[in-house]
Amino acid sequence: MIQDNKSLYTIKTSNYNIKLINSEETHAVRLPILRAGQPIKSCIFEGDNLETTVHLGIYIHDEIIGVCSFFKNNNKNILIANQYQLRGMAILKNFQGKGVGSKMLNYGEKLLKSKQTEIIWCNARESALGFYKQLGYNIIGEPFDIASIGIHYIMFKNL
Contact residues for ligand COA, defined by CB under 6 A: 33-34, 89-91, 96-102, 124-125, 127-128, 130-131, 134
For the bound state, the minimum distance from the C-beta of residue 128 to ligand COA, rounded and expressed in Å, comes to 4
Q: Which is nearer to ligand COA, 75 or 96 (CB)?
A: 96
| Phi, psi of 132, deg, nearest 5 | -70, -40
- Rounded CA separation 117/111 (Å): 9
For the bound state, the minimum distance from the C-beta of residue 147 to ligand COA, rounded and expressed in Å, comes to 15
Q: Which is nearer to ligand COA, 81 or 138 (CB)?
A: 138
Q: Which is nearer to ligand COA, 100 or 154 (CB)?
A: 100
- Torsion angle of alpha carbons 48, 38, 130, 133, nearest 10°? 10
For the bound state, the minimum distance from the C-beta of residue 5 to ligand COA, rounded and expressed in Å, comes to 19
Q: Which is nearer to ligand COA, 73 or 96 (CB)?
A: 96
For the bound state, the minimum distance from the C-beta of residue 96 to ligand COA, rounded and expressed in Å, comes to 3
